[in-house]
Amino acid sequence: MQVTDFDPSQASDAQLSQWREVLNAMTEADMPGEPRWQLDQLRDYLSVTMPGEHRYAFVARENDAADSRIIGHANLLLLADDFDDTGVFEIFVHPGARGHGVGRTLLREVARRAAVEGRGTIGVEVIATTPAVDFYDRLGFSRAVVENRHLLAMDRVDWDAVSANAGRVAAGYRLEYHHDGLPDGLLERYAAIKATLKAEPATNIGAWRGSADVQRLRDSLETLKARGLRSHLVVAINEPTGAVVGLTELVVAAQRPTRGDQYDTVVAPEHGSYGLGLAMKARMLTELREHEPQLRDVQTWTAIDGDPHAHVDAELGFRNDVQWYEYETVVSDVLYRLN
pLDDT (tens digit per residue) in 40-99: 999 999 999 999 999 999 999 998 887 799 999 999 999 988 889 999 999 999 999 999
Same domain for 48 and 197 = no
Residue 332: CATH number of its domain: 3.40.630.30
How far is it, in rounded angstroms, from Cα 214 to Cα 222?
12
Residues 47 and 185 in one domain: no
Same domain, 109 and 199: no
Total number of domains constituting the chain: 2
Instruction: Tell me: do 145 and 162 sit in the same domain.
Output: no
What pLDDT is stored for residue 200 in this prediction? Answer: 56
Q: What is the mean pLDDT of the chain?
A: 93
140 is a domain residue = yes
What per-residue confidence (pLDDT) applies to 309? 73
Is the pLDDT score of 308 beyond 80? no
Asked whether residue 296 is domain-assigned, the answer is: yes
Domain with 192, as residue range(s), is 158-316
Do 133 and 163 belong to one domain? no
Asked if 164 and 310 sit in the same domain, the reply is yes
Amino acid letter for position 280: M
**Tens digit of pLDDT for each residue in 272-304?**
899 999 999 999 999 999 999 999 999 999 888
pLDDT of residue 198: 59
For position 194, what pLDDT does the model report?
80
Neighbour count for residue 83 (Cβ, 10 Å):
17
- Residue 285 resides in a domain: yes
Residues with Cβ within 8 Å of residue 185, at least 6 apart in sequence: none
> What are the residue ranges of helices labelled H in 180-309?
184-197, 214-226, 276-291
Average pLDDT over residues 15-33: 97
Q: What whole-number distance in Å separates Cα of residue 165 and Cα of residue 109?
A: 50
- Is residue 209 domain-resident? yes
What is the tens place of the pLDDT at every residue in 237-286?
A: 999 999 999 999 999 999 999 999 999 888 998 998 999 999 999 999 99
In a domain, 321, yes or no: no
Please give the pLDDT value at position 195: 74
Q: What is the pTM of this model?
A: 0.92
333 with 297, same domain: the answer is no
| 308 and 260 within one domain | yes
Q: Give the mean pLDDT of 226-237.
A: 97
Judgement on whether residues 24 and 122 belong to the same structural domain of the protein: yes
The yes-or-no verdict on residue 305 having pLDDT over 90 is no
Output the pLDDT for position 206: 38
